[in-house]
Structures are given as C-alpha cells and as structure tokens.
Chains A and B, each alone.
Chain A
C-alpha cells in the first residue's frame, strides 16, 4: 500500500477516482435538478449552464454529476460482485480439481466465449427495466473473466509449500482457501476488481444507451441515450454527449492506470527496466540489441 503511494501512475489513478467520488457524492447537492427543464432545449454552454442543456432543456452539468453517482455505484458494485463470484468459482474449481475443475472450467469458458452484448440484451429484454436489472445482467455476463484468472492463480498456489503444509496438517479445505489462498492473491484480486469495474461501467453505459435501462433515471448511459434520441449530432449539440463520454473515459483511464501500477508492483522486472532506461538516457545511450557500453562515469 505504501509502495502504491510512491507510484506516479497509482497517484494519478487514485487522484482522478477520488475526484470523481467527491463529485458524485457532493456534486448533485450544489448542481441544479438534473431532470427539470430549466432553459431552452439544446442551448450551448453558457455561464448559467456551463455544459449547456439537453434536448429537454435540462442542465447537462447536473445530469453528468447525477449520472456519475448512479454509474459509479453500479460500476463498483458490479465489479465487486463479479470478483466475489469469480473467487468463489475460481478457487473452488482450482482447489478441488478433478471433475469439479473440469465442469467449472467448461462453464467459465462458455461464458467467456459468448459475446457479451447479445447475451446482455436477451436477459435485459425480459426483465423489468431498472438499475438492479442492469447490475444483474452485468454480473451474469462478466463474472467469468475474474473466475478464469483466479482459478489459474489458485492452481499455481495450490502446490506451494505453505498450502501443502496446511493440507498435510489437516486443515479444512474452506479454511485453506479463505486463510491461505485468498490472502496470497490480494494483488490479483485487486486487479481483477479494477478490470471488472472498467468492464461494468462500459457495459452499463452501453446497455442504457441501447434503451435497456430505465430511461427516466439519470445515469451516464441514459444521458447518452437521450443525446442520441434527441438528435444531438444532427443539430450540432456536441455538449450533450461529450461531457459524459469524457467522464466515462477518465474513470476508465484512472482505473487502468491504477491497474498498471499494481502490475508493476507485482512485477519487479518492469520496475528494474525503468531504472535501467533512465540510467542509459543519462549517459546518452540508446538501448538497442547489443549490450550498452558505459565506460565513462557521468555525474
């Protein structure tokens, strides 16, 4: 954790995320009512409405902030749920092995190979619209990614000495999974959680953009749904879709930065390489195929 604090990427990622969390929590308190018609439809950004208004005359800034609240909550909840299910299935399959693993792997692979969007659509189309439906659909279609990596990690940990020792000393399987395996894949779980959250936010926005969410609810996805329904493109009202898309991308980017920082911490080689390249630059040597020769000291 302290190491994360010294990593530039991690700081950028955490900073952006913290900013969004604050905006989502407190922003709506200060902004206008996101659903009320406040001005002429599709008016461009102005002092009163810094991000302009929608086709229904709603304030885009207020909608973006309110959307952040729902979309981030859904995103992180779904991410957490996906990893929880992934951990349950992945560790069970990996730890027990045998036919349990065969079946588990088969189910994981089937869910992995099925294209997400049509599956989401077919489930969402039958359920009553709403955030819970969306969350449920995203969990069902996305858990297999986490399960796959967690299973692989479980397999490699299972034969490690400390797990073998616990097994030999007669500890209960459940206890081994909970006390030996899970704590030893903390960074993997963290990165699976981040990956699942990125996926969840993107897919949530996509589903609601298709009109499969509750379109009267303000989220980032419905914002884009209305933007495209109100012919924002045709009328040149770029401000109705640019802020939301930029927010989705910023959150995704911040999460990806955080993920790559975690990767780097788990992989000392990557870190070593950074120092090496910096040192070569100091000497004015370009890295190439051949081992560099630095015969003079550079202070």
Chain B
C-alpha cells in the first residue's frame, strides 16, 4: 500500500515579472512526495529545480511570482496562506537546506544562537533550554556540542553544511527540502554527508525533497525521481525504473553522460547544444532542438504527460 501524500504540487507555474514581460521559469510542474519518501528533482542549472524548491516555501525573491497551480501540504494549499500562517509552516512543517553552506549562515552571530532562534520562535522555550537542545542537535549531525559558541567562519564547509542540516532538523518537520546540499563540498565530505542524511532519515522518518544536478547521486538516494528540462517535467519515475528503462530522450541522454565506473564500456553519450534561453523558449517540446529523434509534432505542440507504468510518467511525442 502506498503511504498517504505529504506534499502534492499540482501544475505549479512560476514567472519572472519583468519590465519587458513575463518569463516563465516553471511551467505546470506536478509531483507528489509521500510520507517517508525521498523524492529527487534533477535537471541542469536553469531547469527550474531550485525555483520549485523555494516556491514550495514561498521564498522566491523578486522578480519571481507564482502564477498558477497548487502546493498542497497535508491537504492545505500553501499558496493561499498569509504571512503568519506561512511562518508556522516554515521550519516546523517544512524546512530548507540551501545550496551553499558558505553563505547560508549568518556570519555575525554564533551557530548556537542561530539554532536557538528557530526553537525559541516556534516553541517559546527559554534561551538556556534552547541552547541545550542546540548542543544535542549538533551532536546528532556529528559535530561537537561545544560548537554552539562558534561563529560560522570558524567552521569548515562540511561542518557548516552539517549545521544547516541540524537547523533543518531542529523542529522535527515532516518534510525537508534539500537544494543541492552537497554541491559545494569535495567528494569525500559529500559521501559522508549523504550517508549522514540517509541515516537520519531512517532514524526519524521524515520525507525529503532532494534537488541536485547530479543524477547518479540521486539514483542512490531517492525512491522516486523527476527530471526537469527548461521548467517542465520531462519524466518522473521510481529511481530503479528510471535507471533501468528511461523513456524520455533527455533522461537517456543524461544517463548516458555518466562514465560507467564498473563496466568496461566507455560509451559516453553527451547531449549536444545548450538549454534554451527562458526568455525565448522554443515552441512545442522545449527539448526538440537538442533531440535526436524529434518529430514534426515536436516543433508545434508541447507533448502531453503519458502514464507508462506505475508512478512512471513521460512527456514526449515519441510515446504511443
């Protein structure tokens, strides 16, 4: 039996409102995160994956605006909430781990204070009790509890990212949005941290929306994966299914980009060309200028979503 959905994103649309017109950066994207799941969103830079992450929390900055769709969390549409209600969701129901650990922490106050801030805000506990909890949180992510008195610049990149994760765990939210949590780190630290994230998830049972450009990382960690291209969802499938039988030419291209570490074959298929300029997207299927199999229909109309298996959807004209 599939667990109940925690987060349902339906036809989400995000546009930049500029003086010269609207630029659509997320175009009718839909996906679901169920309880206890790790769902991945993959895509090149500019595909809209970070935009989606921040749109869920309603934290996109100007000139972005959400111009369509629904974001249902535990059945409630976050797009209809006021500021005060959103504040009660942020941190306590959905928390965020951002991309760059270097700039994610306030440089002028201690780590302890930054952890306590959230606890104090939502639970009204005293600073002393809060600090005690902050210490335990740091230990939970594998840091020395005495680090509460440290300033961010006194920590390494990996340690800072652990602090950000501790911050996301502080109020035990059911969903954590992780936007490229390991990108800025070197490979060894990346591995460690991913192991830590998986361990914590098994321990605590929260769901993760995991966003990265690194599809191989995602295949290891996630239960289900959505592949974004130029603001649209190209393919969504369970991780194993995606790895074994990708259906969208873009997904196949992405998977072909990986060097096989264990196999002898060194067939490396890249994808020619570059992602489109979001201000002037190509008509029809956005991928057709780079697609090796494009049909006349691809130049004219956007492909509809086709269900090709359990939890497996593809948006491509090549499918019957």
Q: A residues within 8 Å of B by Cβ?
A: 271-280, 287-295
11 contacts between A and B (CB under 8 A): A272-B16, A276-B16, A276-B17, A276-B65, A277-B62, A280-B17, A280-B65, A288-B83, A290-B83, A291-B65, A291-B66
Known: A271-B19, A275-B18. A294 touches B63 (CB 8 A): no
Q: Please tell me which stretch of B30-38, B52-60, B144-152, B180-188 contacts chain A, meaning at least 4 of its Cβ atoms lie within 8 angstroms of it.
A: B52-60
Given contacts A291-B64, A291-B65, A292-B66, contact A272 B55 (CB under 8 A): no
Indicate if the CB atoms of A273 and B63 lie closer than 8 Å: yes
**New A-B pairs, 15, CB < 8 Å, besides A275-B17, A275-B63, A291-B58:** A271-B19, A273-B63, A276-B65, A280-B17, A287-B62, A290-B58, A291-B55, A291-B59, A291-B64, A291-B66, A293-B67, A293-B79, A294-B66, A294-B67, A295-B67
The 8 Å CB contact of B18, one of A272, A288, A289, A290, is A272
* B278 interfacial contact with A, CB 8 Å: no
B54 partner residues in chain A, CB cutoff 8 A: 291
Q: Are A289 and B63 in contact (CB under 8 A)?
A: no
Whether B68 sits at the interface, judged by CB under 8 Å, is yes
CA distance A274 to B54 in the complex (A): 22
Q: Report the minimal beta-carbon distance from A284 to chain B, rounded to whole angstroms.
A: 13
Bound together, the chains give a CA A294 to CA B63 distance in angstroms of: 13
For A273, what are the chain B residues with a Cβ–Cβ distance below 8 Å?
A: 62-63
Give the residues from 51 to 90 in chain B that come closer than 8 angstroms, CB to CB, to chain A: 54-55, 58-68, 79-80, 83, 86
Contact yes or no, A274 B19, CB < 8 A? yes
Q: 0/1 per residue, B267-302, Cβ < 8 Å to A?
A: 000000000000000000000000000000000000
CB distance from B78 to the nearest CB of A (A): 9
CB distance from A134 to the nearest CB of B (A): 44
* Contact status A292-B65, CB under 8 Å: yes
Total chain B interface residues with beta-carbon distance under 8 A: 22
Judge if B20 is at the interface, Cβ distance under 8 Å. Answer: yes
The answer to whether B79 and A276 touch across the interface, beta carbons within 8 angstroms, is no
* Bound CA–CA A34/B170 (angstroms): 76
A290-B68 in contact given A272-B18, A276-B17, A295-B79 (Cβ < 8 Å): no
A20 to B83, CA, bound (A): 50
CA distance A292 to B63 in the complex (A): 10
Q: How many Å lie between the Cα of A273 and that of B151 in the bound state?
A: 33
Residues of B within 8 A of A292 (CB): 65-66
B62 touches A294 (CB 8 A): no
State A274–B16 Cα separation when bound (angstroms).
12
In the bound complex, how far is the Cα of B86 from the Cα of A288, in angstroms? 12
Interface residues of B, Cβ cutoff 8 Å to A: 16-20, 54-55, 58-68, 79-80, 83, 86
Determine how close the nearest CB of chain B comes to the CB of A225; give it in whole angstroms: 48
Write the chain B residue with the least CB distance to A295. Answer: B68
CA distance A289 to B59 in the complex (A): 7
Task: For the complex formed, measure the closest distance between the CB of B62 and the CB atoms of chain A, giving whole angstroms.
Answer: 5
Question: Contact between B18 and A276 (Cβ–Cβ < 8 Å)?
Answer: yes
Question: Which chain B residues lie closer than 8 Å to A287 at the CB level?
Answer: 62
Which B-chain residue is minimally distant from A285 (CB atoms)? B65
Query: Shortest CB–CB separation between residue B51 and chain A, in angstroms?
Result: 10
Tell me which residues across on chain A come within 8 A of B59, comparing CB atoms: 290-291
A270 CB to nearest B CB, Å: 11
Contact B62 A290 (CB under 8 A): no
C-alpha gap A18/B68 in the complex (Å)? 49
Chain A residues near B83 (CB-CB < 8 A): 288-290
Measured between beta carbons, the chain A residues less than 8 angstroms from B67 are 293-295
Distance (whole angstroms) from the CB of A32 to the closest CB of chain B = 49
Interface contact A294-B65, CB-CB below 8 Å: yes
Closest to B14 in A: A291
Q: Which residues from chain A contact B80 at a C-beta distance below 8 Å?
A: 293
- Compute how far the CA of A36 lies from the CA of B68 in the bound complex, rounded to whole angstroms: 74
| CB nearest neighbor in B for A282 | B17
* Interchain residue pairs A-B with the least CB separation, the first 8: A275-B19, A276-B63, A290-B58, A279-B17, A291-B60, A291-B58, A276-B17, A293-B66
CB neighbours of A277 from chain B (8 A) = 62
How many angstroms from the CA of A236 to the CA of B134 in the assembled complex?
68
Least Cβ–Cβ distance between B314 and chain A, in angstroms: 28
In angstroms, Cα B19 to Cα A289, docked, is: 21
Determine which residue in B19, B20, B55, B79 has the highest number of CB atoms from chain A within 10 A of its CB, and name it. B19
CB of B231, distance to nearest CB on chain A (Å): 16
Among B20, B55, B60, B67, the one with the most A-chain Cβ atoms within 10 Å of its Cβ is B67
Q: How long is the Cα–Cα vector from A272 to B79 in the complex, in angstroms?
A: 24
**In the complex, what residue of chain A is closest to B86 when comparing beta carbons?**
A290
Q: How far is the CA of A294 from the CA of B20 in the complex (A)?
A: 18
Complex CA gap A263/B270 in Å reads 42
- Nearest A residue to B51, CB-CB: A291
CA distance A280 to B17 in the complex (A): 8
CB distance from B43 to the nearest CB of A (A): 20
- Taking the nearest CB of chain B, how far is it from the CB of A65, in angstroms? 41
Q: Which residue of B lies closest to A274 (CB)?
A: B19
Partner of B65, one of A278, A289, A293: A293
Write out the residue numbers on chain A whose beta carbons fall within 8 Å of the beta carbon of B63.
272-273, 275-276
Bound CA span A124–B64, Å:
56
Which of B16, B18, B83 has the most chain A CB atoms inside 10 A of its CB?
A: B18
Instruction: Point out the residues of chain A lying under 8 angstroms from B66, CB to CB.
Output: 291-295
* Cβ of A287 to closest chain B Cβ, rounded Å: 7
User: Chain A contacts of B62 at CB under 8 A?
Assistant: 272-273, 276-277, 287
Chain A residues with CB below 8 A from B65, complex form = 276, 279-280, 291-294
Docked Cα-Cα span, A280 to B80, in Å, equals: 16
